[in-house]
Amino acid sequence: MTEPANRPFVEFDRVQKSYDGETLVVKDLNLQMPKGEFLTMLGPSGSGKTTCLMMLAGFETATHGEINLDGRSINNIPPHKRGIGMVFQNYALFPHMTVAENLAFPLEVRGMDKSEREAKVKRALEMVQMGAFAARRPAQLSGGQKQRIALARALVFEPELVLMDEPLGALDKQLREHMQFEIKHLHESLGITVVYVTHDQTEALTMSDRVAVFNDGVIQQLAPPDELYERPQNSFVAGFIGENNRLEGTIESIEGSKATVRLKTGELID
């Protein structure tokens, strides 16, 4: 069977989510990602980013619409069968297991035999430069080391899609910048598709191929970082991108969180 070359790898097709059967926290979301893309969901707290990630991972179910992975609906596929790696802010490492055991666990769950597990664990630890730490327990690691192990654990079964939810939120600024570089490098060298959630615009703008700016369950703009800087589609995006905005203009008025900006071209945007 021939496959259309432009078929999206990840697709949200008119997805809605309500937790209480009333309020939509994700409203009619359409999003298509090609294979290999690094897409960041950026937006304030409560704007629906994590909910989107949880639906993609399979821990939440869409109230309406379809989520497709590589052309197939995954609505009815349980999380562990989706072939998706995940990294979260709180590492979620098992404290009673060594680093190597933490990494081997998802492979064991998949029924992989011991020698193959060991080879994959070794390779994943090398990827994040943690080969020497295999026998340690999480409590014996620094925050940055734990986050590297969490990253290795997400990569250990060679997923094609990796989801990251504020993975660097607990790290200090310097380490965060270093890890951004490492994550980007891993993305490029492994050719994986990444959906990355953050409220940190610097992180979003430095790492991503495209950024989806969320507010109130809606993607306000989906564009490469440069375009967000240069052509924010509305006042929310312009305001959120804020001080990093390279638009040359002056703020004419501010009402609540809405600003009206006059660009050098004379155009007014709000």
Q: Is residue 58 involved in binding ligand ADP (CB under 6 A)? A: no
Q: With contact defined as beta carbons under 8 Å apart, do 121 and 103 qualify?
A: yes
**Which residues are bridge partners to 262 per DSSP?**
250, 268
CB 132: neighbour CB atoms within 10 A?
A: 9
Nearest to 62 by CA among 72, 44, 41, 48: 48
Burial of 41 (0-12, 13-18, 19+ CB in 10 A): buried
Q: How far is the CB of 199 from ligand ADP (least distance, A)?
A: 7
According to DSSP, residue 267 is labeled -
Q: Which of 40, 42, 51, 269 binds ligand ADP (CB under 6 A)?
A: 51
Q: Is residue 48 involved in binding ligand ADP (CB under 6 A)? A: yes
Which backbone phi and psi does 198 adopt, to 5 degrees? -155, 160
Residue 50 or 102 with smaller CB distance to ligand ADP: 50
Q: Is residue 50 involved in binding ligand ADP (CB under 6 A)? A: yes
Residue 49 or 176 with smaller CB distance to ligand ADP: 49
Binding mask 217-236 for ligand ADP (x = CB under 6 A): --------------------
Residue 104 or 213 with smaller CB distance to ligand ADP: 213
Scanning 28-36, 43-51, 177-185, 231-239 for contacts with ligand ADP by CB under 6 A, the matching segment is 43-51
Scanning 40-48, 75-83, 100-108, 181-189 for contacts with ligand ADP by CB under 6 A, the matching segment is 40-48
Q: Is residue 21 involved in binding ligand ADP (CB under 6 A)? A: no
Nearest to 204 by CA among 36, 84, 44: 44
Question: In a 3-state reduction of DSSP, which class is residue 1?
Answer: coil
Binding site for ligand ADP (CB under 6 A): 19, 25, 43, 45-51
